[in-house]
Amino acid sequence: MPRQAEWLQQVPAALEALEHITTPVIDRAMLEKLLCIHRRGAIRLMHQFGGYQAGRTFLILRTSLMRELTKITGSDTYLYEAARRERLGSQLEQTGRELAQRRIPIPAAPHVVYRALDGLPSTIRLAPGKLEITCNDAEDLLRQLMELAQAITNDFEKFQARVRSTCHGAF
């Protein structure tokens, strides 16, 4: 039998297509197209699903095939594979987003690594209850946010004290 991961994902689309097919029997070539499998795999599945050979042609009743494919959609194997593919898709999407984020250039001068809160540029202001950053464009805003984050990292105790005194714990 073909590896299940290769054709299990095709089962819902195959069932939908079978709903619209009016012929009473499905041949091997049609099963190959429905499940995107090779000749030998289609023959094995037809035998497993109760198909038969008429001359040199392998056939299966459309209703029998639909019944067998419907049973498969409720099987543990199918449900596991569907969940696995869903997780894989989510992981691929997340990886794609992370790669896109890593491609965003954030220009920063080397001295930013040592930035302290008292050394922030005048375009970054921490006032009671608010943080204000004046910027020219998105790149400039990203650069300043990075400077602020680095200054907070380098001087966290001072940042906490400033937030407490300016925001009364509401920051």
- SS3 state at 58: strand
pLDDT digits (tens, 9 = 90+) for 131-159: 899 999 988 898 899 899 999 999 898 88
pTM value > 0.85: no
- Which residue from 13, 58, 7 is spatially nearest to 36, judged by alpha carbons? 7
- SS3 state at 27: strand
Give me the pLDDT at residue 166, please: 58
My answer on whether 116 and 83 are in the same domain is no
Give me the pLDDT at residue 106, please: 76
My answer on whether 82 and 146 are in the same domain is no
Q: In sequence order, what are the residues at sequence separation of 6 or more whose Cβ sits closer than 8 angstroms to the Cβ of residue 5?
A: 81
HSE-CB of 120 using CA atoms within 13 angstroms: 25
Strand-pairing partners, residue 52, are 59
Task: Give how many domains the chain has, as a whole number.
Answer: 2
Burial of 88 (0-12, 13-18, 19+ CB in 10 A): exposed
| C-alpha span between 69 and 62 (Å, rounded) | 11
Lowest average pLDDT, out of 23-32, 33-42, 82-91, 120-129, goes to 120-129
My answer on whether 74 and 127 are in the same domain is no
Structure tokens at 68: 């067998």
Q: 105 and 138 in contact (C-beta within 8 Å)?
A: no
**End residue of a domain, out of 25, 52, 87:** 87
**End residue of a domain, out of 26, 52, 87:** 87
Give me the pLDDT at residue 85, please: 86
Q: Is residue 27 part of a domain?
A: yes
- Which residue from 35, 30, 29 is spatially nearest to 14, judged by alpha carbons? 35
Sheet holding 25-27, edge to edge: 25-27, 57-61, 52-54
Give me the mean pLDDT over the 19-45 stretch. Answer: 94
Burial of 133 (0-12, 13-18, 19+ CB in 10 A): middle
Give me the pLDDT at residue 131, please: 87
For residue 68, pLDDT over 50 is answered with yes
Give me the pLDDT at residue 1, please: 46
Instruction: Quote the domain boundaries for residue 126.
Output: 110-167
Burial of 108 (0-12, 13-18, 19+ CB in 10 A): middle
For residue 171, pLDDT over 70 is answered with no
**End residue of a domain, out of 52, 87, 122:** 87
My answer on whether 20 and 83 are in the same domain is yes
For residue 170, pLDDT over 50 is answered with no
Q: What is the CATH number of the domain that holds 52?
A: 1.10.10
For residue 169, pLDDT over 50 is answered with no
Q: Is residue 103 part of a domain?
A: no
Q: Is residue 52 part of a domain?
A: yes
Q: Between the ranges 59-68, 104-113, 117-126, where is the mean pLDDT highest?
A: 59-68
